Amino acid sequence: MSFGSPYVTLPDFTYHRPTTIEEVLKILKEHGDEAKVMGGGVGLLAFMKERLMSPSHVIDIKGVKELGGADYVPGRGLRIGASVTIAELCQNDLIQDKFTVLHEALSRVADQMIRGRATLVGNLCEAIPWVDSPPALISLDATVEVVGPGGRRKVPVASFIKGPVDIDLGPEEMVASVEVPDVSGMRSTFEKFTSGSEFSLASIAVTLQSQGRKRTARVVYGAVNSTPVRCQEVEQVLEQETSRASIRRAADTAADKVECMSDVLASSDYRKHLVKVVTTKALGRLLQK
Amino acid sequence: MRDLALMVNGQSRSLRAKDNLLLLDLLRDGLEVRSVKAACWRGECGLCTVLLNGSLVKSCLVLAAEANGGEVTTVEGISEGEKLTPIQEAFVEHGATQCGFCTPAWVLTTHELLKANPNPSEKEVEEAVGGLLCRCGTYNEIREAVADASKAYAKARKSIVQRAR
């Protein structure tokens, strides 16, 4: 007997539920490109229904203990395992207090049911231009820990995302975790503009760290181009001055310098306008804190 | 093909299914639990929402194999037989059930919200049900129904607390 939707089906595949990283790597080695790693599955299953991907092996990593859990070690930072859901991270008070930009970005991902399944690593690995976590992670100087036949390697999130739906990951490799370095005296925030759905048309992640008189800013825009865009000109504005007047200067600088694309969702001119809007909103909130 | 065994609304069920079967299709077609609605199949409308091991999930985004050995609760699992629950009563009272297609998902989600937070703010309600779509557009009526039902939940919790004292 067979059943299933006559309208939307998944391609045929074999489901695997390994319990160790070694087992995952073994299946990947055996099947290469024919195998896909599944965290929450919200992205992978959607891609498979659209036949954008048709792996013949799906490796569910939720049974791998080592890939669960988010641990913070003072001085070292935060390590988030590949199977940790976005909802789990949203409930983490330490992330809310210390890495506010990440908390704010993750609380605005899709909806409650999706966040309960979707993982941060999955969100990152989709590398879709409008997903929310990459700008926040880049503003925090986060790195991705990749494991494969050659051992472990670490890649900054900024270079891990090579292009839309294109990441620095070999067919026999998997992402084990994301690491966020520790910081002190940091203020940060995330803002996004959406229209009619939770998909972002422009987003911004800002971190501002003071050490004595020295101030370091990181400003990263999402959804405005095919990959997240860091804007050093806006960072310089904030490193010089954080008065109310600097908000306007930063917003104008952003609209001038951030390269925006045109697509079916919005024109580049409209995105430039939105860049100004999200910059003003984010900095307004951050500098009043 | 794979043998699956799971608890659905407190009853143990088992069946043989292909690895590519969705939890949604397992529930509707395999086990004939038709309160779980199928509309978009892409995680957008939320009408296939069920509880999997205590968490709300969109069952069109979960493989049946992932639920193997687990526990699934649908709206039948929280109902009280022929008697309407305060949430169901409030939905009827406020006319929040126009075509009724999305109602099971709303009732289940509202139940989970009020169980955890019997007195939610408007923003908390919006946040909790943000993943559900009603194509009749009865959102105002649903909002009113949730607010009304929350009074019953808050009252029930109060009486439980008083009895415990």
CB atoms within 10 A of CB A162: 13
Q: What is the pTM of this model?
A: 0.95
Q: How many angstroms separate the CA of residue B165 from the nearest CA in chain A?
A: 31
Q: Do B57 and A49 touch (CB under 8 A)?
A: no
As a whole number of Å, the CA-based R_g of chain A is 20
Which pair of structure tokens corresponds to residue A221? 């825009």
* Residue from A157, A155, A150 nearest A172 by CA: A150
Say how many CB pairs under 8 Å bridge A and B.
88
A60 interaction partners in chain B (CB closer than 8 Å): 63, 65-66
Mention every residue, 6+ apart, whose C-beta is less than 8 A from residue B159: none
* Residue from A70, A65, A86 nearest A17 by CA: A65
Residue B154 φ then ψ, to 5°: -65, -40
Distance of CA A134 to the CA centre of its chain: 3
Task: Read off the pLDDT band of A1 (50, 70, 90).
Answer: very low
As a whole number of Å, the CA-based R_g of chain B is 16
pLDDT of residue A288: 82
Q: What digits encode the pLDDT tens for the residues A154-168?
A: 999 999 999 999 999
* Residue from B15, B8, B57 nearest B33 by CA: B8
- In this prediction the ipTM stands at 0.93
Residue A13 φ then ψ, to 5°: -160, 170
* Residue from B156, B140, B145, B67 nearest B107 by CA: B145
pLDDT of residue B165: 65
Helices (runs of H) and strands (runs of E) counted in chain B: 6, 5
Q: Do A3 and B29 touch (CB under 8 A)?
A: yes
pLDDT of residue A289: 61
- Which H or E element spans position B49? strand B49-52
- DSSP code at position A10: P
* Residue from B79, B140, B136 nearest B104 by CA: B79
Q: What digits encode the pLDDT tens for the residues A55-103?
A: 999 999 999 999 999 999 999 999 999 999 999 999 999 999 999 999 9
